[in-house]
Structure 1
Amino acid sequence: MNAEFIEALNQLEKEKGISKDVLIEALEAALISGYKRNFHSAQNVRVDIDRETGVVRVFARKTVVDEVTDPRLEISLEAAREINPAYQLDDIVEIEVTPKDFGRIAAQTAKQVVTQRIREAERNIIYDEFVDREEDIVTGVVQRADHRQYYIDLGKVEALLPYNETMPGERFKQGERVKTYITRVEKSTKGPMIYVSRTHPGLLKRLFELEVPEIYEGIVEIKSVAREAGFRSKIAVSSRDEQVDPVGACVGHRGMRVQTVVNELRGEKIDIVRYSDDPQEFVANALSPSKVISVDIQEDEKVARVVVPDHQLSLAIGKEGQNARLAAKLTGWKIDIKSESEAQEEANVDEVNDTLESDVETTEEENA
């Protein structure tokens, strides 16, 4: 190796951000193994690379002892003081043992080490870039698929989209562009592993953040999201500005904003409801599009007992209970829904029972 090699390392440091000193230290460590392997040496050695000229030298390191038992690792005090009178027992003496053809080995090793370090550095750069983008949306191109997942080309790296993270009935063709949500980024021996999803509630939230400037600017806030991917979702929104209607902002002019999100999610129905700190009002809003007559909150049981008009009971519950289920997820309350007539019947029964209990108590008092 020579000064040109050092200059190449300086250039790498500028272009790839890989420290020259780190590269040289890694190369020195690799050359120690290369020396021992190629020259069948059991010596304790140190390799030194001159940071200016690139000259490589190998030094055998020997401990100063009274009596030498292993000449590969030890040197007598007398022999050490012939080199330098200042040496004492237990000092380390370094003797140059650089082989004549060591430059060839050094050049081969340098190529391997530098290539490996460049690859590691590039992987780390990609990892650092994408780990900061967890819980964000990325757009990629479907490259291929196997029996478990799609491989999505993100430019610098491939992301993995498992089939169970796609929406029901969703299929992608090779070359198709697709938006996905990064759920996690992991390091592996093959480089960063990026896992993405099309079903995560975060995808819905981030799509609205992209489409609604008021959300991006912090005027409108998404308070909670409930999603059954591919079928229906609910989001609860509030506004920090009384002049801005949070629901209207998310729907957009003639429904354009919400329709863009619906199209991206292949027709998934989306209910946008107004958030409220009052749980009664929030639960009533969450059951949209059904109308609600009353909401009775039972704090201890975390249950909201809801009464709806008779003709809206099926709408409030939804197909296979979907509307009520999503409302419960959105609000964090267990929701018990009854029609107005059912609630009236229960009230009548309770009134009769109360009357009977009162009559029994009166009779017992009279008998006493």
Structure 2
Amino acid sequence: MPARTSRPAPLQRPDRPYLALGLEGSANKLGAGIIKHAKDGSSTVLSNIRHTYITPPGEGFQPRDTALHHRQWIMGVIKDALQKAGVSIHDLDCICYTKGPGMGAPLQSVALVARTLSQLYGKPLVGVNHCVGHIEMGREITGAQNPVVLYVSGGNTQVIAYSRQCYRIFGETLDIAVGNCLDRFARVINLSNDPSPGYNIEQEAKKGKRLLPLPYTTKGMDVSLSGILTSTEAYTQDKRFRLDGTGSDSEDVVTPADLCFSLQETIFSMLVEITERAMAHIGSKEVLIVGGVGCNERLQEMMGIMAKERGGQVFATDERFCIDNGIMIAQAGLLAFRMGQCTDLADSTCTQRFRTDQVHVAWRA
């Protein structure tokens, strides 16, 4: 259930712009960002600081270790954000934090700091849905008006559209998220986690020459990705597979580049299909891609081809805003705060499962 909300006390200086600090730590990216809303409604990003927990090749990030990273770095990240923005914590109107979804221990580490700052400095607290943060930052940066949203990240894969003050989920993954699928395969072929396994999959795919047959599983508006991951991993056990890519010109050789290329092309085709179906359903000609996987240029290209054929267009952001960051939490949190929504201290918890369609989007008419 969504957290109970209460109306904050009126601002003591309503003649000045609103300022919010956003804290994000739902996975291995730790972020702090400060945003300013002018009286005319325009937004300005004052700072957006991020620090990423990177593990060795072949290893994922564990909740306990990720939480330890966040605890070690969060005060430095917040200080850098305040310094770059040129503001004091006393100037803030509210402190926003990621309530969920995400990994439990990292979420709790960041929420604890948000609660502490809220009490120390007497600032209202706003718990933010991670996905809604992505959507609102994407809308703000790109100017998309009423798009079908494709939300693709390490932990989430959803097709979303807005209706009557709620982001409705049209379709989603039935098992694992697209980012998780790519990350897990990157570990199988021992790709680096720096800057991210998904980025390195994308670069490897650009060298691929063969489109190998893989399961294509769309079920209505939903997709299933566990089967395609298993099938791609199975190729690495084939006697034709060459991890070093030697003999890549031979039709009998399967290389990591071929597998990355085939995995990307098949998954992205599935995502384009269900997104197009949602566009047809609501009559929209706009697609907004958000989430960490949204940085993938091939996904943007494929979605752009589809949208162009429908007389529409694709909106996407670069890595500053599509990868998890604090400024998206500040943006969504400040929009909610200005509508009188804030989170009581007793409700300032975290949840690993916080559905996108549980949020009352009061700031949209």
Q: TM-score scaled by structure 2? A: 0.22
Q: TM-score scaled by structure 1? A: 0.22
The structure richer in strand per residue is 1
Higher relative contact order (CA 8 A, sep 6+): 2
Greater Rg over alpha carbons, structure: 1
